[in-house]
A and B are shown apart, each in its own frame.
Chain A
Amino acid sequence: MTYSILTLFDIILVLTLLWLGWRLLSSEDIFKAVILFISFGLLMALAWVRMRAPDVALAEAALGAGLTGPLFLSALRRMNRTRKGERRLDSDENRNEDHRKDSKQTQAV
């Protein structure tokens, strides 16, 4: 087994991944955790390249970092909106449905 400068790179990569994983799991602010998750995904893609799996690296970079991150961010925005008591989409729908049922019943009567 030969050691080279890439071995050092691998060790630093693994340590950074572990540290990022710990930070994102233990951070109290979810927004910060999402941002850490995106950077974790990018570094994970690099790790897949080092493991000679370019297919997985492409999928990880595009899906893990590129799409899951924005999905989490939009989910976070919706959670915040719901908490602040602004317009809730599902409850609005239910209300409309109830209203429609009521009007149908009154028509039937």
Chain B
Amino acid sequence: MKITGKTRNRHRRFDGLGLLFLCLIFCLIALLGAILCITPGTTPGTTPGLADAVSSLQAQSGVESPVTAVLLNFRGYDTLLEVMVLLLAVIGVWSLTKAPLSWQKVDISPVQMGVVRLLAPVLCLVAAYLVWQGSHLAGGAFQGGAILGAAGVLLLVSELDWPRAVPALVLRIGLVLGPLVFVGIALCCLFFTGDLLAYPGGTAGWLILLIETACALSIGLTLALLFGGGRPEDDVSDGDIS
């Protein structure tokens, strides 16, 4: 295999070991399928799952969408940890390297500027709608945050000046906004009701919307900064820490 300038997948073509591996995987899949077909009560479509349990408690959850009810009310702790994982990912990327500078000044073509001007507001609007929609239909903080992140990526790839010139402090505050609001509400719940993330009766809907909005902002910023690939130039440098 010749390696040229392009980045190549360095793997070997079929040899004996690969073929054996493929056979093993095929046998495993066939075995799993056989188990699923033979075992009574586990054929797809007949398992009751937790749908009944969720729908019986739906009215207390403060939202109409069962998915949002599970994610932010019944299993809110899991979502809290997921948001923390995203924050950890950005911390990891920032501690590795600085964001690459766009050293070549390119003139942005009018077509591209037009696309950015058209798409960025629409993306923000769709993100807000998805977060709002999360209470009764499909949608929520992660989906809205992903759309916001896409808007950020759009601004980054079109080589605009101001997204890279945002002060690092603002970015840091934006990153921890969602997790802080989430943890703050969780602690308040712990204080008032005695349980972590057990929303006091009647306020669940608004608290969930508040958490989702803050988390969507932070998740969007997180994803855009992950694409940026490093801490900003004006962030604390190594010399300042020591």
Residues on A lying within 8 angstroms of B by beta carbon are: 27-31, 33, 54-55, 57-59, 62-63, 66-67, 70-71, 74-76, 78-80, 83, 89-90, 93, 97, 100
CA–CA, A50 and B1, complex, Å? 41
Contact B1 A28 (CB under 8 A): yes
A71: chain B residues at CB < 8 Å are 226-227
With contact pairs A54-B138, A90-B96 given, residues A31 and B7 touching in the complex (Cβ less than 8 Å): yes
A51 — nearest CB in chain B belongs to which residue?
A: B44
In the complex, whether B238 has a CB less than 8 A from a CB of chain A is yes
Name the residue in A28, A62, A79 with the highest tally of chain B Cβ atoms < 10 Å from its Cβ.
A62
Chain B residues whose C-beta falls within 8 Å of the C-beta of A66 in the assembled complex: 146, 150
* Residues of B near any A CB (own CB < 8 A): 1, 6-9, 67, 96-98, 100, 130, 137-140, 142-143, 146-147, 149-150, 153, 157, 223, 226-227, 229-230, 238-239
Question: Does A90 contact B7, Cβ atoms closer than 8 Å?
Answer: no
**B139 lies within 8 A of A55 (CB):** yes
Task: Tell me the complex Cα distance, A70–B227, Å.
Answer: 8
- Tell me which residues across on chain A come within 8 A of B227, comparing CB atoms: 67, 70-71, 74
Contact status A78-B146, CB under 8 Å: no
The answer, among B130, B157, B223, B238, for a CB contact under 8 Å with A58, is B130
Give every chain A residue within 8 A of B230 (Cβ-Cβ).
89
Given known pairs A28-B1, A54-B138, the reply for A62 and B100 (CB within 8 Å) is no
- Is the Cβ of B98 less than 8 Å from the Cβ of A62? no
How many Å from the CB of A53 to the closest CB on chain B?
Answer: 9
Cβ B98 vs Cβ A58 within 8 A: no
B47 shortest CB reach to chain A, Å: 14
